[in-house]
Amino acid sequence: MTTAKRFEELEVWQRSKELTNLIYKYSTDGAFARDFGLRDQMRRAAVSIMSNIAEGFESQTQSMFIQYLGRAKGSAGEVRAQLYIAKDQRYISGEDFNSLVSMAEICSKQLAKFIQYLESQPNSRRVKEEGVTYDV
């Protein structure tokens, strides 16, 4: 497995960004856009997936990274739950629902596998910025 130098290189982060952009796209118009509670909560949950992956990647320890990935996984579940409401309220079509739920499930599975992988590497060190010096 190659070592990612930046969180933007992580496939799960890229997929969560795609999911977030789709949530924003589908919640911009019509009745969905006027349901401020659901719209805003879904957007926050989607943003939380990618943000927790990034924050965990930038954290100092592997155990912190795993905790942040767990939070991201929880947010993926939150998005899936909220998609059911969006579909039931006819804010999104059945086809769009299936696509978005599938993407959220893939994020969740990727996060679970990533957590499992990191937990199997208990003595590995976190990657630090290479070639950077800080004058204090």
Check which CATH number belongs to the domain holding 43 and give it.
1.20.1440.60
37, two tokens: 């509670």
Does residue 104 form part of some domain?
yes
> E strands within 9-105?
none
Residue 76 lies in a domain: yes
pLDDT of residue 60: 81
**3: in domain:** no
Token pair listed for 67: 């905790």
Q: How much of the chain exceeds pLDDT 70, in percent?
A: 88
* pLDDT at residue 3, as a whole number: 82
Rounded to 5 degrees, what angle do the CA atoms 100, 101, 105 make?
Answer: 120
pLDDT digits (tens, 9 = 90+) for 36-54: 999 999 999 999 999 999 9
What crossing angle do the helices spanning 11-26 and 36-58 adopt, rounded to 10°? 160
Domain count, the chain: 1
Is a pLDDT exceeding 70 seen at residue 95? yes
Look at residue 49 in the predicted model and tell me its pLDDT: 98
pLDDT score of 19 more than 70: yes
Between the alpha carbon of residue 1 and those of residues 10, 82, 117, 131, the distances in Å are 12, 34, 10, 23
Domain assignment present for 73:
yes
Decide if pLDDT at 134 tops 60.
no
